[in-house]
Amino acid sequence: MNPAPFKVQSETLDGVRIIAVRGELDLNTAPELEQPLEAALNGDGGALVIDLSGCEFIDSTGIALIVRAWQQLGHESNGSAGGGFALCCVNDQVQRLLDITGLESTIPTHSTRDEALTELRA
């Protein structure tokens, strides 16, 4: 079974930047995510959601990008850790990696995009 082609889509909804990842996020595809992440981090300072609903696989390179974005943006909003950053729609493989690395208790993660958006707008 072939993986879905890697694709990154970026949109802004009610002041929250959403970056949706599709396919396998690994050493080969991570550079394609770096540019939209940098644009979001260097933009207006608004909240950021990374939607992993279409992400079939993620390796340590992908986790490193996510952690760096969380560190840069997540600690800035409202003085609370993770206030401006969230992940949503993680699959079992991604959730397992977050569990193994201990990030599941640190990076805000939501089942749906709507839940993430609601939390960030609060």
Domain-embedded: residue 32 = yes
- The number of C-alpha atoms within 13 Å of 112 and in the hemisphere containing its C-beta is 3
In a domain, 43, yes or no: yes
Q: Indicate whether 24 belongs to any domain.
A: yes
Select from 87, 91, 121 the least CA-distant residue to 106: 87
Q: What is the mean pLDDT of residues 96-115?
A: 90
- The residues facing 18 across adjacent strands are 11, 49
We report the CATH number of the domain holding residue 53 as 3.30.750.24
Lowest mean pLDDT among 16-20, 77-81, 98-102: 77-81
Q: Whose CA is closest to 20, among 52, 43, 47?
A: 52
Q: Answer whether residue 53 is part of any domain.
A: yes
> What average pLDDT does this structure show over 88-99?
88
* Structure confidence at residue 8 as a pLDDT band (50, 70, 90): very high
Number of domain units in the chain: 1
Q: Is the pLDDT of residue 111 over 60?
A: yes
Range 18-24 average pLDDT = 95
Residue 69 resides in a domain: yes
Helix 60-69 and helix 92-101: axis angle, to 10°? 70
Q: Is residue 35 part of a domain?
A: yes
102 within a domain of the structure (yes/no):
yes
- Which structural domain, as residue segments, surrounds residue 43? 7-121
Task: Specify the higher pLDDT residue, 120 or 76.
Answer: 120
Please report whether residue 2 resides in a domain.
no
What's this model's pTM, rounded to 2 decimal places? 0.87
CA distances to 26, 81, 87, 100, 122 from 6, rounded to whole Å, are 10, 30, 18, 24, 32
**For residue 36, pLDDT beyond 50:** yes
Helix (DSSP H) and strand (DSSP E) numbers for the chain: 4, 5
Digit-coded pLDDT (tens) for 37-79: 998 888 766 899 999 999 999 999 999 999 999 988 755 544 4
